[in-house]
Structure 1
Amino acid sequence: MHEHEHDTAKWRIYEALLQATPDLSYVFDLQHRFIYANKALLDMWGMRWEEAAGKTCLELGYAPWHAAMHDDEIEQVIATRRPVRGEVPFPHTTEGTRVYDYIFTPVFGPDGQVEAIAGSTRDITERTRHAEHLQLLVNELNHRVKNTLATVQSIARQTFANADGMDDACGKIEERLLALASAHDVLTRENWHSADVAELARGLAAQGRFDARQFEVQGESCRIDPRRAMALAMALHELCANAARHGALSTPDGSVHIAWQRNRRGDGEELELVWRERGGPQVQPPAQRGFGSRLLERGLKHDMGGNVDLAFEPEGVTFRVSIPLPDDAHEVDR
């Protein structure tokens, strides 16, 4: 094969590769005019090569600032004989603005001088969006971890302050942390968007610690935001733990009825949930409020942004909580 034929064959191979790649490939001459553009770049421009050949960026419709930036970069490559790399947004004819990473590199002639500038550009829009989304997730994770650690700190401090010895404290802390972890599991499955009240309530009977027949759960699917979901999950745990120690769940004949419904509230809606115990020992109001009672009456009211009522009625504990629902609660359900 003659040298000319060999060079022609190599060019056919290079041309095939350049036309097949999804990256944008092109060459400028020393006057900043396009002397080559592959199919991907022509498609982005919405042009045929005959329309683009020999034109500069400005003549092809690039924004003046964009064309001027590339003019400066081409001159920099010629002067320094080194590649230049950058990142730039570009309005695509069919897909809106995309973000591109590009490199301009010198092409040296037989005399060692720069005779052209070759360029390659890659669409990094999805990668950029993914990186931004990942950073948002990291920021959210940091926020959630800090909030969770603050919750754990509060649980530990309050539990030890009100416990009857170390064994009692360790047992209660473990139970409360398990309840916290269970709520986290529910929210994680929903990407921390919301949690279904039905799943939180029915999860109590499915824990295996109690006879599921002692629970009666009634209510339609209704989603609440992560903060309220965590607060409600901890409240249900405290009610369950108290019922197991002193209330309806401390005897095989006792039962717990959990029901909720949506009610109109001014221009919006609220969720009203009621926990009612029956069939257990006669209830005596506690001489002093422990951590669980304070969490139900004060902490939950703060976290829920609604109203709570904890009543130690002789026939069984009754707890009511109202939770404001967002305007799009129905949409979330779907």
Structure 2
Amino acid sequence: MLESVNFQRVRPVQFGQHRDPAAWRAYDTLLQATPDLLCVFDLQHRFVYANDALLTMWGMTWEQAAGKTCLEIGYEPWHAEMHGEEIDRVVATRAPVRGDVPFEHQEKGRRIYDYIFTPVLGTDGEVEAVAGSTRDVTERRMHEQHLQSLVHELNHRVKNTLSTVQSLTRQTLDTAESLEDGNCKIEARLLALSRAHDVLTRENWRSADVRDIVAGAIAPRLAGAAHHFFLDGPPCRLDPKRALAVAMALHELASNAAKYGALSRGAGRVRIEWKLVRTDEAEALELVWHETGGPAVETPTRRGFGARLLERGLRNDLDGEVEVTYAPDGLVFRATVPLDSSAQ
């Protein structure tokens, strides 16, 4: 029986009556090759076997570990007591016990381990030992947590997108000149939203570069008219919420310019420039849309969805300052956007 061993490295084939050296070599090769942590406890909760992977986790040799309990090995008292109770349960019920637990690896730091304790039955049918198998599941758990976070984020993003589409549709129809006009504007705005989503998707929804946002927003107006635009500014990244807000604002500006402003005239030009500035709070992006060469500009007497988006809704989404100037020689839109340091 195991209680009488002198705590030399116990061979699993000794748990029965056969002691085949060739079989032991095969068993030992398998036990040492696996990355799993393998051990055997006697009925007094002492280790009578531990493979090299487990010894490495402990930072011990077998000579240092042989015959010790979990507490004597260095397990925290709650951890040692938990395993002691589980060993007794396996002996009493002859049924495996499974669980998971954090443990401090000597080389890798704190890890999460999934383990199972299984009864070892002697020739008389009684439990003579308890075998343990433990697997490092840290990466798997982290991956599961990451997936769960992505699901929550996706749910949140879908709800926000649906809310945006609902608001966009309702307000567009409220100010549309006709059903056909409303349908066309809704389609154009949804496409603008889709292009902005494409930019963010390529960046895994972490952030988006301002130049990519601008290019996506004005893309429908570039066919045969790229010379109407001048873009200039340094690399700068916006978080998803602000990126979408800027994209929708630029879409409204481009649509308005094509219908009433600089893009409605062959000589019209649009300068889109951005730079980094310092505010009282922190670093910010200043983005300017400046039209020239179009028809004379007059301050509108009626505010449509686009105007309300630029002047009121955008200020909330950007958490910054927005200014629209209806200068006679061309509309000027200026936005100051606080930068999220985590997006850079």
| TM band (smaller chain) | over 0.9
**Distance in 2 (alpha carbons) for counterparts of 1:84 and 1:6:** 28
Quote the residue 1:253 is aligned against: 267
TM-score, L = length of structure 1 = 0.93
**Distance in 1 (alpha carbons) for counterparts of 2:55 and 2:283:** 55
**Distance in 2 (alpha carbons) for counterparts of 1:182 and 1:161:** 24
1:192-234 superposed Cα distances (whole Å, 9 cap, x missing partner): 2222212212334444456111101111112222211111110
Q: Does 1:117 pair with 2:130?
A: yes
Quote the residue 1:94 is aligned against: 107
Cα distance change of structure 1 residues 144 and 267 upon mapping to structure 2, 3 Å threshold = closer
Quote the residue 1:268 is aligned against: 282
Cα distance change of structure 1 residues 194 and 58 upon mapping to structure 2, 3 Å threshold = same
8 Å contact from structure 2 (residues 294, 330) kept in 1 = yes
Structure 1 residues 160-175: aligned runs within 5 Å: 160-175=173-188
**Distance in 2 (alpha carbons) for counterparts of 1:55 and 1:184:** 59
What amino acid is the match of 2:165?
A: V
Choose which of 24, 27, 44 in structure 1 pairs with 2:40.
27
1:77-127 superposed Cα distances (whole Å, 9 cap, x missing partner): 010010000101111112111110000001111111111111100000111
Quote the residue 1:71 is aligned against: 84
8 Å contact from structure 2 (residues 268, 292) kept in 1 = yes
**Distance in 2 (alpha carbons) for counterparts of 1:272 and 1:97:** 45
8 Å contact from structure 2 (residues 218, 254) kept in 1 = no
8 Å contact from structure 1 (residues 205, 211) kept in 2 = no
Deviates more, 1:18-27 or 1:42-51: 42-51
Structure 1 residues 27-66: aligned runs within 5 Å: 27-66=40-79
Deviates more, 1:179-188 or 1:99-108: 179-188
Cα distance change of structure 1 residues 210 and 159 upon mapping to structure 2, 3 Å threshold = farther
Q: Give the deviation of 1:8 after TM superposition.
A: 3.1
8 Å contact from structure 2 (residues 192, 217) kept in 1 = no
Q: Does 1:189 pair with 2:202?
A: yes
Deviates more, 1:133-142 or 1:66-75: 133-142
SS in 2 for 1:102: strand
8 Å contact from structure 1 (residues 28, 35) kept in 2 = yes
8 Å contact from structure 1 (residues 100, 124) kept in 2 = yes
Cα distance change of structure 1 residues 65 and 5 upon mapping to structure 2, 3 Å threshold = closer
Q: Give the deviation of 1:35 after TM superposition.
A: 1.2
Quote the residue 1:132 is aligned against: 145
8 Å contact from structure 2 (residues 238, 339) kept in 1 = yes
8 Å contact from structure 2 (residues 218, 250) kept in 1 = no
Deviates more, 1:222-231 or 1:85-94: 222-231
Quote the residue 2:336 is aligned against: 322
Quote the residue 1:242 is aligned against: 256
What amino acid is the match of 2:246?
A: L
Choose which of 191, 200, 211 in structure 2 pairs with 1:178.
191
8 Å contact from structure 1 (residues 248, 256) kept in 2 = yes
8 Å contact from structure 1 (residues 210, 249) kept in 2 = no
8 Å contact from structure 1 (residues 206, 212) kept in 2 = no
**Distance in 2 (alpha carbons) for counterparts of 1:311 and 1:267:** 25
SS in 2 for 1:322: strand
Quote the residue 2:3 is aligned against: none
**Distance in 1 (alpha carbons) for counterparts of 2:196 and 2:83:** 54
Structure 1 residues 137-148: aligned runs within 5 Å: 137-148=150-161
**Distance in 1 (alpha carbons) for counterparts of 2:118 and 2:75:** 20
Q: Give the deviation of 1:284 after TM superposition.
A: 3.1
Identity %: 60
What amino acid is the match of 1:193?
A: R
Deviates more, 1:191-200 or 1:26-35: 191-200
SS in 2 for 1:59: helix
8 Å contact from structure 2 (residues 196, 216) kept in 1 = no
TM-score, L = length of structure 2 = 0.90
Quote the residue 1:81 is aligned against: 94
Q: Give the deviation of 1:4 after TM superposition.
A: 8.4
1:13-63 superposed Cα distances (whole Å, 9 cap, x missing partner): 121101100000111111111111111011111111122111111121111
**Distance in 2 (alpha carbons) for counterparts of 1:11 and 1:134:** 43
What amino acid is the match of 1:147?
A: N
Q: Give the deviation of 1:176 after TM superposition.
A: 0.6
Gaps of 5+ in 2: 1-15
8 Å contact from structure 2 (residues 217, 248) kept in 1 = no
Q: Give the deviation of 1:241 after TM superposition.
A: 0.7
Quote the residue 1:214 is aligned against: 228
**Distance in 1 (alpha carbons) for counterparts of 2:328 and 2:240:** 34
Choose which of 212, 215, 224 in structure 1 pairs with 2:238.
224
Gaps of 5+ in 1: none
SS in 2 for 1:171: helix
